Chain A
Amino acid sequence: MIRELKVGIVNYKCGNIASLQSSLKLVGHRSKLINNDNDFLEHRIIIIPGVGAFPRAMDQIKENGLIEGILRSAKEGKKIIGICLGMHLLAEKSYEFKETKGLGLIEGSVNYFSEGLQVGWMRIEQNSKLKNLEKFNKKEFYFNHEYILKGRDKDVLFYNNENEKKYPSIIKNRNIMGIQFHPEKSQTNGLKLLSELLDEN
């Protein structure tokens, strides 16, 4: 089924945009790139992708004039989904390389993870119940990061447990959601999750 165009991808030139668009197509969603402030208007769901380092990414978002549009969309109640680095950008601040202010849409900060780099497939575990996402409990997804978002426990839907050290893998505050792993690169599980998130009311 081909669905209406509602997904916009913030193009701040730090993301794996082609992979994300390709995976969205697989679950039947067209998407368009958001290159400037006006482009936010036509979308109901805004995805902030991300591969890279936090300070450079924030600079790129600023230089491309995209901050206001993200904040305005959040205030209007549009669904904002940050993926990996995009999740980190939602936080209040980050300590990657240096202290850098984030978008402030999720309470918390981004810190170095004491267990080091997390590259590979991991099982996520449920922290709080959200009916339509319960089926993803203990499913495996692809992670690639060395910093984590330390947020409020009540916002954490799923977490990871590496050597008894937990960190959020999916975090949600009202219409704002951050995903630490790459659903667009997590084969079947990732496609199912994307489908669920984009199709829910």
Chain B
Amino acid sequence: MINKRVIGSITIKNGLAVQSFGYKNYLPMGKPEIIAENLDRWGVDEILINCVDRGENGPDVSLISKIAQSGVTTPLIYSGGIATKNDAIEVISKGADRVVIDSILHKNKNVAREISEFVGCQALIAAIPITVKGKSLFWYNYKDKENIEFSQELINTISNNLISELILIDWEREGSLKESFRKEILTFNPFKKINFILFGGINSPKTANNLIKMKNVSAIAVGNYFSYKEHAVQTYKKSISGSFIRKENYEYLKIGYTYYDFED
């Protein structure tokens, strides 16, 4: 049986890992590669590298390369600035296992299709930041700071074997003291046969426990929380009941692999 996943997320701005508050305010945390190494050591199931300021600059290839070469053996998801097929290929060749697209789903669906056909839909994820206004939900466009209605065309594109999973982001709760992922988002599911990764405001293991049991939720992503609490990942995973997730003991430190820095 395939396990559901607990993903450690690292938000990166100006090359630094940051604590994000609703993607509006940021506090610096340090080198992203160090945080990735820690998440790897603590046994998260995947690591999401979320570069929030890439925009027109393209993906941060040197960062993903640095993280991959640091000896991280946890699967890496990269998000930020992917606008072409070649961007996706380069990021994967430098160390990412999966890539996330967002704005090109609005701007150029053909490019999204081209990426999917080249890297395979299993390696492609779409991110949807969601704004909740009363009972209505909108796709939030960070760049232009506008809320976009979900068109049937967009829903059809996403549902048609383009991507493997959707990251649903409760961006207004991200980094907020108001705990929990809002239920309005969870009831929203126009997409056929696509599983969700939930992100934003999922700090307490109790909330995670409830969310991860949902049928169409394949993973939850957690950001700041994992870096601020002792044994956070282990405690978090332990508190999720049942056999939904991988709980195998992580032995990285015990087996004592040494990283050899060979000269080419």
Contact A146 B97 (CB under 8 A): no
- Among A28, A116, A121, A182, the residue within 8 A (CB) of B260 is A28
Q: 9 shortest A-B CB distances, which residue pairs? A: A18-B95, A121-B246, A18-B68, A185-B75, A53-B120, A188-B251, A121-B3, A120-B2, A26-B257
Contact B123 A144 (CB under 8 A): yes
0/1 string, A45-80, CB within 8 A of B gives 1: 000000111001000000000000000000000000
CB-defined contacts of B5 to chain A, threshold 8 Å: 120-121
Q: Does B248 reach chain A (CB closer than 8 Å)?
A: yes
0/1 string, A88-123, CB within 8 A of B gives 1: 000000000100000000000000000011111111
A/B interface sample: 24 pairs, CB < 8 A? A14-B118, A16-B93, A16-B95, A18-B68, A19-B68, A19-B95, A26-B71, A51-B92, A117-B122, A117-B164, A119-B122, A119-B165, A121-B2, A122-B1, A122-B3, A142-B45, A144-B123, A182-B75, A185-B73, A185-B74, A185-B76, A188-B250, A188-B251, A188-B252
CB-defined contacts of A53 to chain B, threshold 8 Å: 117-120
Contact A146 B121 (CB under 8 A): yes
CB-defined contacts of B255 to chain A, threshold 8 Å: 188, 191-192
The main secondary structure of chain A at its interface with chain B is mixed
CB-defined contacts of B4 to chain A, threshold 8 Å: 120
CB-defined contacts of A123 to chain B, threshold 8 Å: 1
What's the Cα separation between A116 and B164 when bound, in Å? Answer: 10
Contact B65 A122 (CB under 8 A): no
Q: How many residues of A contact B (CB 8 A)?
A: 49
Contact A191 B97 (CB under 8 A): no
Which B212-264 residues sit within 8 Å CB-CB of chain A? 218-219, 246, 248, 250-252, 255, 257-262
- Among A2, A15, A119, the residue within 8 A (CB) of B93 is A15
- Among B1, B43, B89, B257, the residue within 8 A (CB) of A27 is B257
In this complex, what residue of B is CB-closest to A192?
Answer: B255
Which A151-190 residues sit within 8 Å CB-CB of chain B? 161-163, 182, 184-190
What's the Cα separation between A14 and B92 when bound, in Å? Answer: 8
State whether A190 and B73 are in contact (beta carbons under 8 Å apart), knowing that A143-B2, A144-B123 are contacts in the complex.
Answer: yes
Interface size on B, as a range, is: 35 or more
Contact B3 A22 (CB under 8 A): no
Chain A residues close to B by CB (< 8 Å): 2, 13-19, 22-23, 25-28, 30, 51-53, 56, 85, 97, 116-123, 139-140, 142-146, 161-163, 182, 184-192
Contact B250 A121 (CB under 8 A): no
Contact A120 B73 (CB under 8 A): no
